[in-house]
């Protein structure tokens, strides 16, 4: 028989009352679609440093779509201009699955997006860690 709540350790009372502690508003699984391996690794290290549980990377559209088919992410960062292709097919798939995503680009606001994605959030590349973390938290809570 369990002791009454006032005689239980505070930590067990809290988890019973509020359930599992949320992961600080961050997504659990982030997909990074980036064709530059160094930049992809930097994003991965940075995002894992925020406390995200899993970061998967893809260097092209085909690999990104395979990863999404295997397990849809909670959130994605998409480099607009991949080697020899654009990431819009990935964006379309994520949108169909209601997965929040942000475009990342070295071209800033000058990059042309298809009308369906004209209002999609984007981050400059490179971007400050604080800006990236805020975007992950904001989009995760919106999603």
| Number of C-beta neighbours around residue 27 at 10 A | 25
Does residue 70 sit within a domain?
A: yes
Give me the domain span that covers residue 135: 35-142
**CATH of residue 54:** 3.40.50.2300
Strand residue runs (E) in the chain: 29-33, 54-58, 75-79, 81-82, 85-86, 101-105, 122-124
Looking at per-residue pLDDT, the higher value among 17 and 114 belongs to: 114
Does residue 133 sit within a domain?
A: yes
- Structural domain count of the chain: 1
Does residue 47 sit within a domain?
A: yes
Does residue 7 sit within a domain?
A: no
Does residue 2 sit within a domain?
A: no
Per residue in 54-113, pLDDT tens?
Answer: 999 999 999 999 999 999 999 999 999 898 999 999 999 999 999 999 999 887 666 788
């Amino acid at each position: 028989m369990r002791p009454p709540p006032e005689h239980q350790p505070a930590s067990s009372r809290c988890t019973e009352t509020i359930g599992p502690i949320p992961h600080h508003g961050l997504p659990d699984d982030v997909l990074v679609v980036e064709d530059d391996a160094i930049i992809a690794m930097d994003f991965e290290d940075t995002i894992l440093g925020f406390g995200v549980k899993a970061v998967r990377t893809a260097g092209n559209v085909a690999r990104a779509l395979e990863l999404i088919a295997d397990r849809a992410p909670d959130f994605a960062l998409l480099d607009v201009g991949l080697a020899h292709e654009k990431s819009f097919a990935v964006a379309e798939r994520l949108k169909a699955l209601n997965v929040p995503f942000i475009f990342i680009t070295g071209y800033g606001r000058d990059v042309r997006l298809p009308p369906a994605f004209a209002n999609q959030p984007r981050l400059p590349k490179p971007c400050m860690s604080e800006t990236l973390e805020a975007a992950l938290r904001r989009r995760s809570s919106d999603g």
